């Protein structure tokens, strides 16, 4: 496997692999616990979603955008960014679902193009990629679409710039997904996500274009963060400074990690009056500042 998308990445030297674009987890299992099979399936899932982006961008070009395609890609890319998703069977299901959505997008594009008097383009690359049906075969396909592909021919700089864009897009998609589940989306952010997917699907190999697009993604990210802020404050109120307990309370408890205020709110509603306490963990700490979450007396503190 090869993965270098997080702060846990292996930084030890690998003299037998001098052409790797950077040091990263390259053994049978990453530092986070992710295995080679999961890493490969995640790369294949991304490839299918790049194809979704190709068709979604074409739909937008002819004036028939559809938000469902950016939303689906956001969820998929978010799952690849979260290093606790180690279930190979689940990723096979996600890949199959993504293929179905891509085909739906293809049909929608072809129909809309003909209705507009335009002959549909025959898109190639990720738009036509056909994942195998067996896990072992899909793992083999990852060598042709994974994060290190083309490093031998294009060099570490170009492939690294591609991944700068890919990982930036993954971050954009993660926070866009959090906003989507709260019922918030904007056309600008959908367009930016579709463009990011389609750009990478084209196999860019020009450093100036790659750097320029990374800056464009930065602008998309600002819009996504504004959208997420509106979603969070619109759903849970404007956060205020709030004391947070960091010592345990006796009794049964649920620990909630991550960033998803929507899920935390649902858990708090479901456990109200049951005697079960709820703690946030790590990056969920800011949740205590939101009035509609803090009002629950059984949101008792933060761990870690």
Instruction: State CA 287 to chain mean position distance.
Output: 21
Q: What is the pLDDT along the chain (304 residues), one digit of tens a residue?
A: 788 888 788 776 655 555 555 578 877 788 888 888 999 999 999 999 999 999 999 999 999 999 999 999 999 999 998 767 788 999 999 999 999 999 999 999 999 999 999 999 999 999 999 999 999 999 999 999 998 899 889 988 999 999 999 999 999 999 999 999 999 999 999 999 999 999 999 999 999 999 999 999 999 999 999 999 999 999 999 999 999 999 999 999 999 998 899 999 999 999 999 999 999 999 999 999 999 999 999 999 999 8
pLDDT at residue 13, as a whole number: 61
Enumerate residues 6+ apart whose C-beta is below 8 A from 22: 4, 156, 160
* Cα distances (Å, whole numbers) of residue 129 to 49, 54, 94, 148, 170: 10, 12, 15, 18, 20
pLDDT at residue 17, as a whole number: 54
pLDDT at residue 90, as a whole number: 94
pLDDT at residue 281, as a whole number: 95
Compute the distance between CA of residue 277 and CA of residue 271 in angstroms, rounded to an integer.
8
- If we measure between CA atoms, which residue out of 99, 94, 74, 80 comes closest to residue 147? 80
pLDDT at residue 33, as a whole number: 86
């Amino acid at each position: 496997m090869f993965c270098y998308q997080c702060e846990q990445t292996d930084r030890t030297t690998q003299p037998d692999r001098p052409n790797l674009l950077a040091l990263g987890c390259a053994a049978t299992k990453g530092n986070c616990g992710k295995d080679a099979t999961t890493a490969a399936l995640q790369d294949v899932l991304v490839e299918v979603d790049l194809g979704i982006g190709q068709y979604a961008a074409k739909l937008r070009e002819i004036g028939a955008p559809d938000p469902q395609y950016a939303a689906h890609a956001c969820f998929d890319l978010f799952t690849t960014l979260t290093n606790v998703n180690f279930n190979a069977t689940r990723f096979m299901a996600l890949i199959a679902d993504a293929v179905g959505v891509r085909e739906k997008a293809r049909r929608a594009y072809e129909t809309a193009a003909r209705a507009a008097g335009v002959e549909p383009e025959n898109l190639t690359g990720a738009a036509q990629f056909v994942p195998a049906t067996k896990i072992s075969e899909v793992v083999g396909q990852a060598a042709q679409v994974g994060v290190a592909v083309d490093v031998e021919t294009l060099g570490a700089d170009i492939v690294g710039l591609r991944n700068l864009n890919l990982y930036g897009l993954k971050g954009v998609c993660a926070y866009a997904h959090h906003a989507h589940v709260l019922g918030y989306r904007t056309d600008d952010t959908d367009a930016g996500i579709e463009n990011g997917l389609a750009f990478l699907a084209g196999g860019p190999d020009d450093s100036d274009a790659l750097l320029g697009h990374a800056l464009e993604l930065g602008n998309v990210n600002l819009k996504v963060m504004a959208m997420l802020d509106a979603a969070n404050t619109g759903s849970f109120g404007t956060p205020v400074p709030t004391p947070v307990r960091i010592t345990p309370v006796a009794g049964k408890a649920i620990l909630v990690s991550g960033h998803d205020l929507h899920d935390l709110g649902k858990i708090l509603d479901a456990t109200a009056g049951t005697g079960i306490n709820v703690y946030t963990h790590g990056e969920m700490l800011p949740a205590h500042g939101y009035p509609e979450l803090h009002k629950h007396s059984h949101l008792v503190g933060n761990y870690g």
